[in-house]
Amino acid sequence: MKAKFITLFPELIQSYLKDALISKATAAGLLHFEVVNLRDFTDNKYKSVDDAPFGGGDGMLLRADILEKALKSVLDTEKNQTVIYFSPQGQVLTHEKVKAFASSAKDTEFVFICGRYAGIDQRFIDTYVDLEVSIGDYILSGGELAALVFTETVSRFIPGTLGNSISSDEDSFKDGLLEAPQFTRPQLWNELKVPEVLTSGDHGKIKTWKDEMSLKVTKEKRPDLLAKKGHK
């Protein structure tokens, strides 16, 4: 997975990319990141990159001309690149979309536009953005957190990133369902026992139990997921 972040807060991105899981995968050559400071492309001594919106409105907008300079510094005509802007107006990131992004990662380089303030000039979106992505129906102060969420969840499906190769396949949302409850030592805690089937050693029964509990938990906590899959 290769990605470039265009951001007003490079230190926020760089700090998170030092996380053990991501940094190990980066050191192993599985993940490649570059962080670009938008302020390096400003045209004034105050290093400002925003201005008031025409027609009025709350907040300030990132300028299209400055964003363009930053983007052109990382665009490469010899590479297949996908420019992603994180926005509440984008397609919502789901488990299936994450897997699709991971599958395409070997053939494309992601360029993340991290917005701030009230957003960015629409002309830049229309001209350069290939895809708008949302991580949920709520508002953040900027796109950095969304870009990092995208990075972590997609990188989990890059072979070799996780210590256990089956971890990503066993997580919640596999087959559109939530994960079954999990337990560890001690086997008896506050008079509560671990379900006996999990200590039985019978892998067939354990799988059946996990499948049944996965369906039960989803029905109780996220019935909307069952509706999408046609479960009752």
Q: What is the DSSP letter of 29?
A: T
Using one digit for the tens of pLDDT, what is the confidence trace for 82-114?
999 999 999 999 999 999 999 999 999 999 999
216: domain CATH number is 1.10.1270.20
Using one digit for the tens of pLDDT, what is the confidence trace for 153-170?
999 999 999 876 545 555
Residue 161 counted as domain residue: no
The total number of structural domains in the chain stands at 2
Give the HSE-up count for residue 148: Cα atoms under 13 Å, Cβ half-sphere.
Answer: 19
Residue 167 counted as domain residue: no
Residue numbers of the domain that contains 196? 172-229
DSSP per-residue letters across 135-182: SSSS--SBSHHHHHHHHHHHHTTSTTSSSSTTHHHHSTTGGG-PPPP-
Strand partners, 81: 109
pTM: 0.88
Residue 205 counted as domain residue: yes
Confidence of residue 75 (pLDDT cuts 50, 70, 90): very high
Using one digit for the tens of pLDDT, what is the confidence trace for 14-50?
999 998 889 999 999 999 999 999 999 998 888 999 9
Using one digit for the tens of pLDDT, what is the confidence trace for 174-225?
678 999 999 999 999 999 999 999 999 999 999 999 999 999 999 999 999 9
Whole-number Å distance between alpha carbons of 225 and 218 = 7
- 183 and 134 assigned to the same domain: no
